[in-house]
Structure formats: C-alpha cells, structure tokens
Amino acid sequence: MLERLWSGWRASYVTSAPNRTADDGGRSVFTRLLQSGLPDEETHVVHRGATCFVVANVFPYTSGHVLVVPYREVADLTDLSEQERTELWATVDQAIRAIRTAYAPEGFNVGFNLGRPAGGSVPNHLHVHVVPRWTGDTNFMSAIANTQTLPEAIGETARRLRAVWGAGP
C-alpha cells in the first residue's frame, strides 16, 4: 500500500507567492537577477549561453540543484524559439555532465513545473530543474521537522559547477 507524507506548509508558500508585483515591473525573478548588474559569483550564475543560462537554485532540494532558464521570459515550451529549445536541452545535458563530475550523484530528477497548478513558483518564466539524487538523500528533518539540511552553501555549489562546466564525461 502506498503511504503519503504530506508537507502542508508548502501549499501556503506556493499559493501565496505572487506571479508578478507592481514594484518589479512585471519581470520574473530570473529577469531581475540578470538585470541586477551583479557579478555571476554573487547571483550564483553557473553558465551563460546564447539564449539560456544556468543558476544554482536558492531553494535547493539537494546540493548541486540548478535551474536551466531561457533569457527570454516565456511561460510554456511552445513559446520557445527553435534555437532556444535546442540550446535549453543541450544546456540541461551539460548541467547533468557538470553535476556528475562535481558531485557523483546516483541519479537525477530533471523536469519542469509549467504553470501555477503544476507547482510552478515562477509560472511566467519557464525553467528546468536539474536535481542530483542519492539513495537516502531525504531524512526525518524534512519529513517531520520542516527543516532541510544541506552540506554546502549555494555560492560553493555555483563555484564547484563553474569549475567543471564543459569538462564532464
């Protein structure tokens, strides 16, 4: 029989996060990050391509969790140009290779949350989650204590991945 463990606290986060706000000019968090003028080391950008970039997730499930994001704000895969779609998938592949080199995970979760009902916290700017996984990488802390433990800071994750980007098998 399938058992379910509910994390009800997550629903309030997902449903309360506004899609756009008046003070950000309607721009997504990713667009604001890129337009901030801050160096990649401060924004945790790992890689920049012609049409998309990679950033370490500031709310990671595990160390090494990155997001592959097109520069252009689009909400759905069908809104991408052919060039963006091609580079997006090639960059997901590069991210997997870099994470394998830097972290040696046992597996990956790779995917989208398209639209708010699908769990998308930034529904106006699609992004691909690339999440390294290990057997037993979740524990009682996240299951019952509403706490997640991560063994390294986000800046270190970005630095490690930048150091091996393009060098994977």
Residue pair 125/74 in contact by the 8 Å Cβ criterion: yes
47, 65, 127, 129: the catalytic one is 127
Pick the closest to residue 110 from 88, 141, 80 (CA basis). Answer: 88
Q: How far apart are CA 84 and CA 21, in angstroms?
A: 26
Q: Is 44 a catalytic residue?
A: no
Pick the closest to residue 39 from 161, 155, 168, 157 (CA basis). Answer: 155
Which residues are the active-site residues? 127
